[in-house]
Chain A
Amino acid sequence: MSEGTLYDKVWDRHRVTTLPNGQDQLFIGLHLIHEVTSPQAFGMLRERGLELARPDLTHATVDHIVPTDDRDRPFENDAAEEMYAELERNLEGTNIDFDDPSSGNQGIVHVIGPEQGITQPGKTIVCGDSHTSTHGAFGALAFGIGTSQIRDVFATQTVAMEKKKVRKIEVTGELGEDVTAKDVILTIIRRLGTDGGVGYVYEYAGEAIESLGMEGRMSICNMSIEGGARAGYVNPDETTYAWLRETDEFADDPERFEELKPYWESVRSDPDAEYDDVVTIDGSAIEPVVTWGTTPGQGIGISEEIPEPESLPEDKRETARRAQKHMGVEPGETMAGYDIDVAFLGSCTNARLSDLRAGAEIVKSRQVDDSVRAMVVPGSQRVKTAAEREGLDEVFTEAGFEWRNPGCSMCLGMNDDQLVGDEACASSSNRNFVGRQGSKEGRTVLMSPRMVAAAAITGEVTDVRDLPKAEVKA
């Protein structure tokens, strides 16, 4: 068993007791809720006549089903309207912070926590959403939970859980030009498999990780779940602290920052911490990655050939065959030149300011290919405003992108942003499962924001390194 890791320390600090069934009862420092997974849990709570234990540690937003175009109420989509109205009813009379669209703080739940500074090192964070792992970028212990667990947190501010093993993933060296955090995590998942992390929490470390900004670290931790790990984290360091200093929580309260910093430092993994497993990956060898199949583990470097199913481990062959048929790709080819119909720059993986900047650098002074429907869906209202201040909205709209309001949008196709028929989508999101983007025949190619931008311009999967860049930052 691991010892002295951030995971061990944060777990111990939050362990209330061990339950008769053998699970640990963990105290939860922050409970994030959204319109799609909270209503049933609120219903269960009411039914038992229980009250919210710590509404002060609960924070709500709307993201999954809210429209990203016209937001006048009632929404045109009935399910969206019903879920939104139910959240409003549930929040009535509680003192839960709610980032509704009129607040200017609304956004994807995993974008708003970090930007407001409520995501902090050494905190336990849960949400009824598997990508809660994102918050691990700050050295928080963050994981997704199910309906009954949401009810437990509402009623007790605790969850019952078993402790997992810890795998350290060390990414060494320096990342190459145009190689981003997204390429790193797609490489990790390809190497370890989509179920490689089952039973583990991932600690991401090494020079290539430490040199990333917070937004890159979030992209990496975000996709821990695609690698099978329920949580992933990066130890907090000066980069983390620099981000936190600028947030609502600490910008006007530097004393609070100094008060908490020793705790944050204390939960960092010890230099002699023991891990259940250690994996090393050479970061300097990674090139821009795209997926060729229908699981996030089916990725390859842009210049690599799509594998022959027979060359894969036996248990992967059948899925590979089916995936290649669905995507219409042939082994031996590269993904470069694969025609796309839609370009989606959004989702909790890659819709933060730096992601939009990265995309804008590529599209500046260029035009989206005639065959492509392209959209940018900023991760939050704050991201959107900040991007507009830099003129990124103009860069995108002049090139022919739609510039939309924040939400999950085409990441899961729960609102009206969906693929149609067998459209192929260059997507900065995290899941390329069949049907994920709203159409059963739809085809999703996962890639970094820069690569999405490049594909939008050329109408096909393109090595972004072949396109010269422009200077867009104000």
Chain B
Amino acid sequence: MSDETEIPSVTRVAGSGVPIRGNDIDTDQIIPARFLKVITFDGLGEFAFFDQRFDDEDNPKDHPFNEERFQDANVLVVNANFGCGSSREHAPQALKRWGIDAIVGESFAEIFAGNCLALGIPTVTADTEAIETLQDWIDENPGSEIGIDVAAETVVYDDETIDAEVDEAQRKALVDGIWDTTALMKSNATAIEATAESLPYIDDPSLRAGEADD
């Protein structure tokens, strides 16, 4: 593996939209607590909004995530205070695994937005009217392209350009490609090696290969 790890810079997300209407949609709705006892985040996508999508007998209910026409969507469009409630990292993980790459909304709960950032998902805000218009447009034009420019803070669809907002720190992290601590830290491989070598209790890493072989 090379020393340099690229952290993808997230400047632009394009794709089609899926509207989830309603204020104060909490993390319990996004991923119900009983799905937290899983051993990996893999497969969490199918449980996104589970209790909104299925009744007690697991029969599908009316929900955009169940609709055929939104199955390829990757831009979620929501209203105010989306993602409030617990700090569970499972919520954005479930959305991401369902296929969401960016969320546009009126406002987001802070921890939720932070957890999204750790996954490279921009949370972009715009005013109530602009959001509602966009949601209606998606309903009428499913599958049509929406473009989110994180650096320029705009959401473009049809002939419209929404003047959106991206939190300053989030925008810098996404655009400069420093949102992923794992990748960020991995890119310091040479310095990591040097620190390890300076520690008297760490064995010479060159001996490691031999060890693994026996």
* Residues of chain A having any CB pair with chain B under 8 Å: 13-17, 19-21, 25, 27, 29, 39-40, 42-44, 47-48, 50-51, 53-57, 79, 82-83, 86, 95, 120, 122-123, 147-148, 151-152, 155-158, 160, 259-260, 263
Contacts and interface: CB of A to CB of B under 8 A. Distances in A.
Interface in B189-214: 189, 191-192, 195-196, 198-203, 208, 211-212
For B42, B184, B201, B208, which residue has the most chain A Cβ atoms within 10 angstroms?
A: B201
A39 B40 CA distance: 6
A20 B212 CA distance: 35
Closest 10 CB pairs of A and B: A43-B40, A39-B39, A27-B195, A263-B200, A156-B185, A16-B195, A86-B39, A16-B191, A95-B212, A156-B186
B182 A50 contact: yes
B37 A79 contact: yes
Contact of A27 (B182, B186, B196): B196
B199 A47 contact: no
B178 A20 contact: yes
Interface of B: 1, 37-42, 89, 118, 173, 176, 178, 181-182, 184-186, 188-189, 191-192, 195-196, 198-203, 208, 211-212
B186 A40 contact: no
Contact of B201 (A48, A50, A147, A263): A263
B39 A14 contact: no
Contacts of A54: 196, 208
Given A16-B188, A17-B191, A42-B40, A152 B181 contact: yes
Given A56-B203, A152-B185, 8 more contacts: A15-B195, A16-B188, A53-B192, A54-B196, A79-B37, A147-B89, A156-B192, A160-B184
Contact of A19 (B42, B184, B189, B196): B184
A123 to B, nearest CB: 6
Contact of B211 (A14, A19, A56): A56
Given A56-B208, A155-B182, A43 B188 contact: no
A157 B192 contact: yes
B214 to A, nearest CB: 9
Nearest to B207: A56
B86 to A, nearest CB: 14
Contacts of B212: 55-56, 95
A95 B42 contact: no
B192 A40 contact: no
A47 B42 contact: yes
A40 B41 CA distance: 6
Most buried by B among A16, A82, A83: A16
Contacts of B189: 156
A384 B1 CA distance: 43
Contact of A13 (B41, B192, B199): B199
A86 B38 CA distance: 11
Nearest to A154: B182
A53 B37 CA distance: 27
A16 B182 CA distance: 14
A113 to B, nearest CB: 14
Contacts of B41: 40, 43-44, 47
A27 B184 CA distance: 14
Contacts of A86: 39-40
Nearest to B42: A43
B185 A158 contact: yes
A14 B40 contact: no
Interface hub of A27, A39, A260 (most chain B Cβ within 10 A): A27
B44 to A, nearest CB: 10
A25 B188 CA distance: 9
Contacts of A147: 89
A247 to B, nearest CB: 14
Contacts of B40: 39-40, 42-44, 86
B188 to A, nearest CB: 6
Contacts of A56: 203, 208, 211-212
B9 to A, nearest CB: 13
A107 B177 CA distance: 42
Nearest to A122: B201
A17 B191 CA distance: 8
Nearest to B169: A21
Contacts of A79: 37
B8 to A, nearest CB: 11
A156 B182 contact: yes
B116 to A, nearest CB: 13
Contacts of B199: 13-14, 27, 29
7 contacts: A16-B185, A16-B188, A21-B178, A43-B40, A54-B196, A82-B39, A148-B181
